[in-house]
Chain A
Amino acid sequence: MPLPTPLSPGRPKPEPTPETQHFWEGTRRGELRLQRCDACAKVYFPPRPFCPACASRKVSVFAASGRATLHSYVIHHRKVPGFEPPYAIAVVELAEGPRMMTNIVDCPQTPEALVLDMPLEVAFTPLDEQITLPLFRPAQGDAA
């Protein structure tokens, strides 16, 4: 698996909280961790220690498949610290259901290349020693 394009410095860095620690530990270890409600089976994101559908506190963390499809995006054309324009700010729909914001790597940042509903796979990309971001890239055939 080729390493995704290294990230430019200046990108905003997330600071984990007690409720999100497991997510960021997961990305550092190459796992995309979601949560599932033990009571109603709802899979949800972003992390919180209770189910937003039924309010149960009995929830489990599990490793998602890392497969997703491209749900929507914009391509930003202005200079922002940590980013080289034009770059797409995307929302992907994970195979397990939840959506998340991300960037699409290993893909031209153009409307022609970024086709809605295209299959994607997670590409864990270190920001620094503490934080690894779950970026996504076009799915690599059946292996995805």
Chain B
Amino acid sequence: MIRPGEIAIVGAAESTRIGSVPEMSQIMLHADAALNAMADAGLKPSDIDGLACVGNMFPQQLAHYLGLVPRWVDGTGVGGCSFMLHVRHAAAAIHAGYCRMVLITHGESGKSRINATPRPAEPQSLSGQFEAPYGPFGPPTLFPIPVLRYMKTYGVTHEMLAMVAVVQREWAARNPRAAMRDPITVEDVLNSRMIAYPFRLLQCCLVTDGGGALILTSADRAKDFPQKPVYILGTGESVETTMVSQMEDFTSSRAFRVAGPTAMQAAGISHADVDHMMIYDAFAHLPLYGLEDLGFCERGEAGHFIMARNTAPGGKLPLNTNGGGLSYTHTGMYGMFALQESVRQVRGTAPAQVPGVKISLCHGVGGMFSASGTVVMGSERP
């Protein structure tokens, strides 16, 4: 079994620009981020012998584009948390000796849609037969479907779900790269345009272009790189169902309940050890589900926890400190950007740096609660 801190992140970077990047196609967003991450680590393409990225037949396209000769590839695509799974798989592969230096990339032309992945209708799939006929149209109509049940079960209010967006905008205001930086109030959120009741525009993620890349190697080699190593302490993953209507429990994600505790147990940490946290926020309810399913709050308490400013600047559990998918950026698969912010916080280089981050927990969700991946990172090798 892999031990905490045996693998480290030695290179990390986002694409040169994020937001609206009409000068780059999707594959170039991958490449731009990969080149930046290689520069960050002081590496050349010939140093890389493992590659992970999302997409059917895409690892070979990208390997060729970047001039890589991988001896290990992973094309796992389970939505926006795929990169958390790539980190977990890459750590295992390096540990097993399948490869020494893994590049994980993300690029998505979510806004400009240049060479973007088409999303074909599949009328013979189970979703195509048993969800599509009832009018869902993209994540804003599907991801929030469990929310009213969660609200009724625990007495969660619209104000609590608005506060998620308010707090994250406070973090974004401290980050020059964030797309949305002007302060907002609970009233602003509740007066913004209705998208899919109960959620309004400011409770839905942005749609942007961008990319990111990570480079992992064994901790034994990690001290030879220009950047301070960020150690992988523990990881977890799981999947549930691509059909949100078939989730076991509308007030909790089974995939979260598997991935999160698996990562924390592997890292050998307790909740009190976590200095900084990222919870993938495609929509405003996800941080609440994450806080509860990972055991940082009791059932039904996460809304109160956020209202009490525990996750805000100066709070005891700084959360989504880049501004999140709601205010920083969201290309479609935001998980890579959550990982990048955890790396920055552990390195001590984040724009809204939390003082003294030793342990950061980064928790991702994939497609409408269908998948989850968690990565615990640390500044020191245990």
Number of interface residues of A (CB under 8 A): 37
The smallest C-beta distance from A86 to any residue of chain B, in angstroms, reads 8
Is the beta-carbon distance between A99 and B124 smaller than 8 angstroms?
A: no
Whether B135 contacts A11 by the Cβ 8 Å rule is yes
Instruction: For residue A131, give the distance in angstroms from its CB to the closest CB of chain B.
Output: 8
> Nearest Cβ distance between residue A73 and chain B, in whole angstroms?
6
Report the minimum CB–CB distance from B236 to chain A (whole Å): 23
Known contacts A15-B124, A71-B250, A101-B245: A77-B132 contact under CB 8 Å: no
Whether A89 pairs with B134 at a CB distance below 8 angstroms is yes
Contact with A along B160-189 (1 / 0, CB 8 A): 000000000000000000000000000000
Known: A12-B121, A46-B126, A89-B141. Is A72-B133 also a contact (CB below 8 A)? no
Determine whether the beta carbon of B133 is less than 8 Å from that of A89: no
Is there an interface contact between B245 and A100, defined as CB atoms closer than 8 Å? Answer: yes
Task: Choose from A15, A83, A91 the contact partner of B128 (Cβ within 8 Å).
Answer: A15
Identify which of residues 21-52 in chain B touch chain A, using a CB-to-CB cut-off of 8 Å: none
Are the CB atoms of B135 and A127 closer together than 8 Å?
no
In the complex, residue of chain B having the shortest beta-carbon distance to the beta carbon of A92: B245
Q: Is B146 an interface residue (CB 8 A)?
A: yes
B245 cross-chain contacts in A, Cβ below 8 A? 91, 99-101
B124 cross-chain contacts in A, Cβ below 8 A = 15-17
Q: Is A133 part of the contact surface with B, judged by Cβ < 8 Å?
A: yes
With A13-B123, A99-B245, A99-B246 in contact, is A78–B145 under 8 Å at CB? no
**Most chain B beta-carbon contacts within 10 A, residue among A12, A16, A46:** A12
Q: How far is the CA of A100 from the CA of B124 in the complex (A)?
A: 17
Report the nearest A residue to B194, measured CB to CB. Answer: A77
What 1/0 flags go to A71-111 for Cβ under 8 Å of B? 11111111010110011011100000001111100000001
Q: Is B149 an interface residue (CB 8 A)?
A: yes
Q: Determine whether the beta carbon of A72 is less than 8 Å from that of B145.
A: yes
Complex interface residues of chain A between 3 and 34 (CB less than 8 A to chain B): 11-17, 20, 24
Q: Does A116 contact B (CB under 8 A)?
A: yes
Knowing A46-B126, A71-B149 are in contact, say whether A76-B134 is a contact too (CB < 8 A): no
Contact A14 B132 (CB under 8 A): yes
B199 CB-CB contact with A under 8 Å: yes
Q: Which residue of B lies closest to A72 (CB)?
A: B149
> A14–B135 contact, CB under 8 A?
no
Interface string of B198-238 (1 = CB under 8 A from A): 11000000000000000000000000000000000000000
Which residues of A lie under 8 Å from residue B193 when comparing CB positions?
Answer: 77
User: Quick one: which of B152, B199, B246 contacts A46, CB cutoff 8 A?
Assistant: B246
Given the known A-B contacts A16-B129, A74-B197, A101-B130, are A91 and B145 also in contact in the complex, defined by CB atoms under 8 Å?
A: yes
Q: In whole Å, how far is B57's beta carbon from the nearest beta carbon of chain A? A: 25
In the assembled complex, the Cα of A11 lies from the Cα of B136 at a distance in Å of 10
Q: How far is the CB of B289 from chain A (nearest CB, A)?
A: 14
The answer, among A78, A86, A100, for a CB contact under 8 Å with B137, is A78
Given contacts A12-B128, A14-B130, A99-B245, contact A76 B141 (CB under 8 A): yes
Sample of 24 A–B contacts (CB below 8 Å): A12-B128, A15-B129, A16-B124, A17-B129, A20-B126, A20-B129, A45-B246, A46-B243, A46-B246, A71-B250, A74-B199, A76-B135, A77-B196, A78-B195, A89-B134, A89-B141, A89-B142, A89-B196, A100-B130, A102-B134, A103-B135, A111-B198, A127-B133, A131-B133
A-side interface residues toward B, CB under 8 Å? 11-17, 20, 24, 45-46, 71-78, 80, 82-83, 86-87, 89-91, 99-103, 111, 116, 127, 131, 133
The residues of B with any CB-CB pair to A shorter than 8 Å are: 121, 123-124, 126, 128-137, 140-142, 144-149, 152, 193-199, 243-246, 250
